[in-house]
């Protein structure tokens, strides 16, 4: 039995190494919330995926913060009390919250922390928990790691030369897949330039919902480029439009923002709106929900990969492990946080040669460094033990 002793919620404001442009705006900073669940047998850490700015799908970290500090402590405390003081199992954490966006993002962080605690107490790694590793069946992650993909934003100067230099940097480092942000007026020309420069590169375009069904003829020009997918071209709620584009274009249609729950994944696949799935555990409500979503995709023959939210090494390590499960058959967004964060408070295995070797240590595989958090000016809300 793991006896519940309290909760800590940290906030640290991190800086991106360079602005990242998308059709929906430019990312300039990365505030991060970390959750630490305390028990008599040790602690577990989780990370919230909310970004600095909110979208139609995901609230900002400021929008999730009240849930993290007002709702989470009370619900976790009540759940522990109903179990005689025991930490509620990771598998039931999601049931403590509804499926609204702030609750999903908060639940994902708490679930990760509880799962981290359980695995550390049991001496098991997340890879072992998910059945991944050198001793796993051959369709699981190989011992030399999982393939890593990279992401390139829209250059601030809208220069094709700047874009090509960024892509070349990833290719030189061994990354076999590059996901490129596109927008109306910044799509066919830059993507064609990349394809001409790197004819063998696995290439994806990501529209972040900036297009409409009426743009189908323009988007059809991308068919000549042999893209892995055109990701989220239309707004998140437009499943019929995505299904129509899937019929119209040769390029596979991928979804990202539309996939907010396991049910949403199931529906998108059922209606022919999703041929490639970008799965983000934080948005789906946690690692366990993401695992179920992978199964849905696998059963339907839909390719899937882990999407990134500029995580610290904590959540990105968990995402790397998730990339090794059957059904995650495309490289995920697994570049090193050191590539986009000026400072990273949690270690990451790295992506040498375009692959990430999965950690075999107990727990999720990464623990935030308290000294680094302090040096970065992190603040903390305490509930229980020392609170």
Q: Give the position of tokens 């996901």.
A: 179
Which are the contacts of 372, defined by CB distance < 8 A and separation ≥ 6? Answer: 343, 345
Taking alpha carbons only, the member of 232, 247, 213 closest to residue 277 is: 232
Instruction: Just list the catalytic residues.
Output: 181, 280
Phi, psi for 255 (deg, rounded to 5): -125, 150
Q: Exposed, middle or buried, 261 (CB in 10 Å: 0-12/13-18/19+)? A: middle
Which are the contacts of 161, defined by CB distance < 8 A and separation ≥ 6? Answer: none
Taking alpha carbons only, the member of 109, 317, 262, 221 closest to residue 277 is: 262
CA–CA gap between residue 106 and residue 113 (Å, rounded): 11
CA–CA gap between residue 370 and residue 14 (Å, rounded): 15
Q: Give the position of tokens 């058959």.
A: 329
* C-alpha 258 chain-centroid distance: 14
Residue 155 Cα distances to 15, 28, 68, 82, 172, angstroms: 18, 13, 34, 53, 19
Q: What is the DSSP string of 221-280?
A: GGGGG--SEEE--S-TT-HHHHHHHHHH-SSPEEESTT--SHHHHHHHHHTT--SEEEE-
CA–CA gap between residue 298 and residue 305 (Å, rounded): 11
DSSP state of 69: I
């Amino acid at each position: 039995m793991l006896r519940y002793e309290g909760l800590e919620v940290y906030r640290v404001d991190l800086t991106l190494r360079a602005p990242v442009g998308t059709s929906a705006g430019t990312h300039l900073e990365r505030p991060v919330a970390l959750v630490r669940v305390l028990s008599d047998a040790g602690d577990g850490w989780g990370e919230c995926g909310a970004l600095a700015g909110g979208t139609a799908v995901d609230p900002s970290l400021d929008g999730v913060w009240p849930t993290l500090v007002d709702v989470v402590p009370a619900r976790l405390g009540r759940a522990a009390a109903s179990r005689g003081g025991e930490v509620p199992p990771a598998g039931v954490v999601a049931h403590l919250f509804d499926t609204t966006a702030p609750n999903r993002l908060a639940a994902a962080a708490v679930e990760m922390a509880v799962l981290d605690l359980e695995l550390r107490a049991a001496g098991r790694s997340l890879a072992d928990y998910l059945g991944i590793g050198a001793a796993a069946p051959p369709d699981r992650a190989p011992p030399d790691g999982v393939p890593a993909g990279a992401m390139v934003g829209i250059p601030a100067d809208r220069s094709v030369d700047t874009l090509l230099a960024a892509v070349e940097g990833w290719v030189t480092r061994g990354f076999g897949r590059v996901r490129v942000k596109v927008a109306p007026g910044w799509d066919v020309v830059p993507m064609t330039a990349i394809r001409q420069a790197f004819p063998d590169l696995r290439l994806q375009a990501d529209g972040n919902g900036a297009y409409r069904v009426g743009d189908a003829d323009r988007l059809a020009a991308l068919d000549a480029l042999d893209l892995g997918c055109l990701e989220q071209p239309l707004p998140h709620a437009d499943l019929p439009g995505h299904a129509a584009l899937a019929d119209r274009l040769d390029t596979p249609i991928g979804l990202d923002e539309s996939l907010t729950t396991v049910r949403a994944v199931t529906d998108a696949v059922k209606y022919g709106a999703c041929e490639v799935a970008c799965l983000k555990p934080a948005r789906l409500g946690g690692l366990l929900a993401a695992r179920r979503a992978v199964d849905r995709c696998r059963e339907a023959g839909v390719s899937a990969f882990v999407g990134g939210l500029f995580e610290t090494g904590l959540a990105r390590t968990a995402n790397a492990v998730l990339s090794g499960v059957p059904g995650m058959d495309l490289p995920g967004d697994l570049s090193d946080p050191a590539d986009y964060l000026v400072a990273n408070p949690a270690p990451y295995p790295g992506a040498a040669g375009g692959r990430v070797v999965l950690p075999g240590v107990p727990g999720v595989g990464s623990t935030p460094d308290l000294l680094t958090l302090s040096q970065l000016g992190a603040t903390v809300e305490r509930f229980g033990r020392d609170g």
